[in-house]
Chains A and B, each alone.
Chain A
């Protein structure tokens, strides 16, 4: 047991999370439609923003840190992310080949 959720008062955690998630979304939209960046830079930056969004959901809304015993659920998620990365990255790399001739 590592974090005791507050049972009283104002739900600060949730409000902060919400404001941040809206901000991040607006930033992503702005990055893509208002800034004239190279496409690859744009994509990398919005992906970074997406990762932050995920962390907000996990930490502020999903109570990721609550647990009883070892944090096996965090390990599963990390392993899931590793597999996800392998599948997406691997498939793109492997299927990137097109005709070898002409």
Chain B
């Protein structure tokens, strides 16, 4: 199985690279940087392989029929206009696809259940990712800090993103680290991701949320554990605390650049980006 998967992957990469104009490295989904994305890639390559079996079979039959049975002048041979069907053949092309589907659904279900669990055994970091049009706010409840439109994570530790939204739905997608999940107002969802190495990855919203939707891009900066700790410390000591003015700007519909806060104001109130969004005291 493992061997097969590797084989398929190389077939896939080969197929792609012949078509590529700008190098493989840019196909993020095929270059996973964390265990979640890797697991998803396994499923992608496995399903691609299974589909290739069908492609080969159908294309071959297609070519055969077209070449062999095109109408030629005068030839009457091999023409059977009244042929009705063939039990055996029909059974084959019902059963074989069912087998292929079974081969695909088993790993699908396994992975579906696996992905709701932490990807590794390290201590998880909880980060609350709130989409508020048109920006992403990342709150670190353990550290009491907040970043806007970028997020810093420790490499090699599972990250538990808790997804929340003020205003419309969005979707948190960091293809290098793994697939997406919707952020919805008032329904805290959980998405597990993890980075294998320190590095910078692109994340964005994948669910259309109106005019400023394209601006919901952010960098994910994975740091080594010590760098990460140092970064947290630095934010705590040097970044400003969130003010009421900041808070209002962030919860209203607006586009902002990156920001960093040593303290954040917990959101509470009606979950649309309205001016009268209520708030609680700064958390401390």
Contacts and interface: CB of A to CB of B under 8 A. Distances in A.
Direct contact of A and B (CB under 8 A): yes
A10 to B, nearest CB: 57
Contacts of A1: none
Contacts of B189: 99-101
A15 B146 CA distance: 73
A98 B185 CA distance: 11
A101 B189 CA distance: 6
Interface string A7-46: 0000000000000000000000000000000000000000
B165 to A, nearest CB: 12
A66 B162 CA distance: 59
Interface in A56-102: 98-102
Contacts of A101: 162, 188-190
B187 interface: yes
B158 to A, nearest CB: 15
Q: Which bracket fits the contact residues of A? A: under 10
Nearest to A101: B188
A101 to B, nearest CB: 4
A98 B190 CA distance: 12
Nearest to B184: A99
Interface in B185-216: 186-190
Contacts of B187: 98-99
Contacts of B162: 101
A99 B186 CA distance: 8
B190 to A, nearest CB: 5
A100 B188 CA distance: 6
B134 to A, nearest CB: 24
Nearest to A102: B188
A102 B186 CA distance: 12
Interface in B147-162: 162
Nearest to A97: B187
A23 B70 CA distance: 72
Contacts of A99: 186-189
B261 to A, nearest CB: 22
Contacts of A98: 187
Per CB-CB distance, the 10 closest pairs between chain A and chain B, nearest first, are: A101-B188, A99-B188, A100-B190, A99-B187, A101-B162, A101-B190, A100-B189, A98-B187, A102-B188, A100-B188
Interface of B: 162, 186-190
Interface of A: 98-102
Given A99-B186, A99-B189, A101-B189, 10 more contacts: A98-B187, A99-B187, A99-B188, A100-B188, A100-B189, A100-B190, A101-B162, A101-B188, A101-B190, A102-B188
